[in-house]
Chains A and B, each alone.
Chain A
Amino acid sequence: MTRANKTRDSGIETIQMTQNPSFSLISTNKIIQMSDVSTSYDSKNYALEKINLSIDRGTNYAIVGQSGSGKSTLLKLMNGMMNPSGGTIKIDYIAPNMNNKKFKKMMHTIGYIPQSLGLVKNITVLDNILIGALPRLNKVQSFFKKFPEYEITEAKRIISLVGLTGKENRKAYMLSGGEKRRVAIARALMQKPTILLADEIVSELDHVTAKEIMDLIADAQKRMNLTAIMVHHDMQLALEYANRVAVIKEGQKILEIGVEGDTIVDFQTGDMTTEEIMEMHADDTKK
C-alpha cells in the first residue's frame, strides 16, 4: 500500500483548514469534538486530563502512546462507555450518554472493536457478525433470531470482504488471532458504521497480516465515508495510514500531527518540551 491510496475526501478538508484556519469555525463537518475533557477510574488519578481534539468526518485518526497512557480510555469516552468528569464531548453534535435516546440511536452506527475484541466465543463467525445488525431487527425477529434474507446476504458479502469465506460456520473460539480480528471488524462493518473505533487491533499481528487488515479498513473507509479512530502501538503504522496522529502521554495529548501523503502538513504540540519530542522520535526509531 502506498501513501497515495491514503488520500480521502477529508484530505481536501484538511488542506483547506490548514490554509485557512477560520474555516474550521464554520465547518459543520466535525464528527468528534472534545474540549478540556478529563476522566478517571478512581478519585485520585486522572486517566485523561484536559484533552482537546476535533476530528473531521472521513478522517483516519490515529492515537498512539505508551502502555497505560490512556488510549483505550479515550475510545471509551467516544462511545459513551465512560463519562467525562470534566469538559465536553460531542459526537456528531450529541453528548455521548447511554441514557440519552438520541445517542443510544447513534451507538447503532458506532463500530467499536475493543482491545479484547469482545467476540461471543461459543457462536459461529456468521452469528457474531450478524450481531452488528441487531439494532435493525424488530422485536419478533430478534426473539426468534430470524434475520431477514438481505441481512444474511450482507453478512456474507462482508465475510468475503474480510477474507473469511468458508469459515462462516466455525465457532469463534476456534479461530486464529488474525481471524478473530477480522470477525470483530466484520461485526463493526455490519453495523453500517459512520464511526469506527478500533483499539490496537493489529498490534499483535505479524507485519503482513497487520497491513492486510489496515488496507481492509482503509478500503471500507473509502467506500463508506467512515471516520476511523484507531489506537496504535506502532508510530510507523500510524504515520503510514492516518491523516492525523495524536500522541498521548500520561493522560495528556502532547502532540498532534497532520499527514498528507509523505509530508507532515500540520504540527501542534501541547505542553511538550523540545527534549520530549526528541525523545519520542528516538523511541520510534528504536522500534
Chain B
Amino acid sequence: MTPKNNIVIGIVVGLVLVASYNVEANPLEFVEGLPNLGIILEEILVLENIIDNMKYVPSALLAMLETLQMAFIGTVIGVVIGLPFSMLAARNLNSKFIYAPIRILLAIIRTFPSILWAMLFVIVVGLGPFAGVLAIILYTIGFVTKLQFESIETIDSDPMDAVGSIGVSKFQLIRYVVIPEAASHLLGQMLYMFDYNVRQSTILGIVGAGGIGFFIIQYIRFFEYGKAAVYLFVVLIVVLGIEWISVKIRDKYIVKSQHGMEVTKK
C-alpha cells in the first residue's frame, strides 16, 4: 500500500464520519429501534393473521399486474423514443454540434429520479397509473440512452468504415450496420431496464402514480402491517420471478449472439 492510497482512504473515512454527523446517523439509535421491527414481525407472523390475510393475495396480484403493465409500457415506449436520441448522441456517428447538445439534454433528463418525474406528472395528468407510466418513460429515456450510446460507441469501426465507403446514407448505416452490431447489447439493456422499472414502479404509488406501492403505503400508514406484508411478499415473488426469466432470456438469446467474429489482423 502506497502512502498515496493511505491518504485517499483517510479522506474517504473522514468524509463518511462528517456526513454521518450531518445526517444524524447514529448506530445506537438503530440498535435501540430494532425491537420495533420485532413487534411488527410478531403481528405479521401470527398464523391466524397470515391465513386471514391470504384473502388479500388476489387484490395484491391485481395491483402488481398494474405495476407490471406500467413498467412494460414505460420501458417499451422509453426505449423506442430513446433509440433515436442515442443514435444522435453517439460520437462515432455524429459531429460535435449534434451529439453535444443531445448529451446535455439527456443528462438533464437523467438528473431526476423516477419518483420526482412521478410527482410532476401527478400534477400534470392527475393521480393514477398514467402519471406513473409517463414517469417511467422519462426515466427510461434518460437512463437507457446512456447505456445505448455507450454501447453504440464501442461497436467495431471496420464494418462501419467498409459500408460507409459504399456511400450509403446515415440512416442506412444505422439500420444495416449499427443496429445489427449493437442488437444484442440493446436487447440486453431493454431487459435490464424492464427489470429495473418493475422495481421502480412498485414505489411510484407512494406519490399516487398508480401500482402496488399505493396500497403498501396506505396499509403502512394505517398500521395494517399484515396486509402490507402480503403486498410486499407479492412484490418480492414477482420481482424475483422476472429477474429469473430475464436471466434465462439473456443466457439463451443474447449471450449466444454476442460471440464476435475474429478476423485476423496484423
Q: Using CB atoms and an 8 Å cutoff, list the residues of chain A in contact with chain B.
A: 67, 79-81, 98, 104-108, 110, 112-123, 127, 131-132, 134-135, 137, 139, 142-143, 145, 172-173, 177, 180, 184, 191, 204
Contact = CB atoms under 8 A, between A and B. Distances in A.
B6 interface: no
A201 to B, nearest CB: 11
B167 A104 contact: yes
21 contacts: A81-B161, A106-B167, A110-B165, A112-B165, A115-B266, A117-B263, A119-B261, A120-B159, A121-B159, A121-B261, A122-B183, A131-B176, A134-B166, A135-B168, A139-B171, A142-B172, A142-B176, A145-B176, A172-B261, A173-B260, A180-B263
A104 B169 CA distance: 10
Interface string B190-232: 0000000000000000000000000000000000000000000
Given A119-B159, A123-B180, A135 B259 contact: no
Given A106-B167, A113-B162, A118-B162, 15 more contacts: A105-B167, A107-B167, A108-B166, A112-B166, A116-B162, A116-B263, A118-B158, A119-B162, A119-B261, A121-B156, A122-B180, A127-B180, A131-B168, A134-B172, A173-B259
B180 A118 contact: no
Contacts of A116: 158, 162, 263, 265
A135 B166 contact: yes
A79 B165 contact: yes
Interface of B: 156, 158-169, 171-172, 175-177, 180-181, 183-184, 257, 259-261, 263-266
**Of B161, B169, B171, B261, most A-chain CB atoms within 10 Å:** B261
A219 B159 CA distance: 26
Given A107-B167, A135-B166, A120 B184 contact: no
A120 B181 contact: yes
Contacts of A119: 159, 162, 261, 263
A168 to B, nearest CB: 16
A120 B172 CA distance: 13
Nearest to B264: A204
B197 to A, nearest CB: 27
A255 to B, nearest CB: 23
A114 B161 contact: yes
A233 B156 CA distance: 25
Contacts of A134: 163, 166, 168, 172, 176
A226 to B, nearest CB: 16
A177 B261 CA distance: 10
A79 B163 CA distance: 12
Contacts of A127: 176, 180
A78 to B, nearest CB: 10
Contacts of B161: 81, 114, 118
Contacts of B171: 139, 142-143
A124 B93 CA distance: 24
B140 to A, nearest CB: 24
Given A67-B266, A115-B265, A142-B175, A122 B167 contact: no
Contacts of B257: 122
Nearest to B257: A122
Contacts of A112: 162, 165-166
A180 B259 CA distance: 16
Contact of A121 (B166, B168, B172, B260): B260
B38 to A, nearest CB: 55
Contacts of B167: 98, 104-108, 135
B24 to A, nearest CB: 54
**Of A81, A114, A120, A127, most B-chain CB atoms within 10 Å:** A120
Given A134-B172, A172-B261, A121 B162 contact: no
A119 B261 CA distance: 9
A185 to B, nearest CB: 12
**Of A110, A139, A143, A173, most B-chain CB atoms within 10 Å:** A173
A210 to B, nearest CB: 15
Contact of B165 (A81, A139, A172): A81
**Of B164, B168, B171, B257, most A-chain CB atoms within 10 Å:** B168
Contact of A120 (B166, B168, B177, B266): B177
Contacts of B183: 122
A40 to B, nearest CB: 19
Given A67-B266, A134-B172, A118 B166 contact: no
Contacts of A106: 167
A127 B172 CA distance: 13
Contacts of B175: 142-143, 145
Nearest to B182: A122
A121 B177 CA distance: 9
B82 to A, nearest CB: 19
3 smallest CB-CB distances across A and B, nearest first, come from A118-B162, A107-B167, A173-B261
A120 B174 CA distance: 12
